[in-house]
Amino acid sequence: MGTVKDPASDNPPSQPRVFIQMSGAPGSGKSTLARLLRQSLGGVVLDHDVLRSSLLEDTNLTFDTIAKQAYNLQWALARDIASQGCNIIIDSPCNFQEGLDQGSAIAEEHGMVYWYVECRVADLDVLDQRMRARTPMRSQRTGVERPPEAARVERQGEDSRALFRRRFEAPCRPSGGNVAEVDSMGDVEGVRDRVLERILGATSGV
């Protein structure tokens, strides 16, 4: 009988464990960067859209209610994964202070180094093109002015472009600490390398 690989064994042994909280608008490259960072750092990526889309299947609950449940599940899973000794990358927008508080608290509870990594794309047209080009999950927007299919009834009458700007152009950011804000318009491997340089350079002295 084969043995089951421990996810914690992916973590580089010479580095302190890290808790990375991604941030950025839909289409800014969070998910791509999160998975590239995972390849280099090991650990587990928790994708909020996967959780929320799964909860949207066969339910009569509102989109906003499901979103709250998905966040609760996300933090419960993050605590459990952290307790198993794994690095964690939270692939989710960071629109509320509660998200920062939850992420930093979990990192502190488990002796992890907390990092906030924000992907920034200033051009709304680029974000719109990226969202229109991808195959969306149920919880994902299909354009700057196109809310998720599951939320369209609730979002009727809203100015989708203005709501997008309000939610994603000014995400919650830590007031200090380990923060990496990156322009994700260009080569994603180059963005990954710059983030890794920041993280590994800082944690090597921990």
Question: How distant is the alpha carbon of residue 29 from its chain centre?
Answer: 10
Tell me what pLDDT residue 162 has. Answer: 80
Domain-located, residue 57: yes
Are 26 and 141 spatial neighbours (Cβ–Cβ below 8 Å)? yes
Domain-located, residue 2: no
Rounded CA-CA distance 171/164 in Å is 11
- Mean pLDDT of the chain, nearest integer: 88
Domain-located, residue 185: yes
Mean pLDDT (whole number) for 165-183: 87
pLDDT digits (tens, 9 = 90+) for 54-104: 999 877 888 889 989 999 999 999 999 999 999 999 999 888 899 999 999
pTM of the model: 0.86
Question: What is the CATH classification number for the domain harbouring 171?
Answer: 3.40.50.300
Are 143 and 27 spatial neighbours (Cβ–Cβ below 8 Å)? no
DSSP, collapsed to helix, strand or coil, labels residue 55 as helix
Domain-located, residue 29: yes
Domain-located, residue 176: yes
Q: Domain span at residue 174?
A: 16-197
Give residue 148's pLDDT band: very low, low, confident or very high (50, 70, 90). Answer: confident
Give residue 4's pLDDT band: very low, low, confident or very high (50, 70, 90). Answer: very low
Q: Residue 18: in which H helix or E strand, if any?
A: strand 18-23
Phi, psi torsion values for 196, nearest 5 degrees: -60, -40
Domain count, the chain: 1
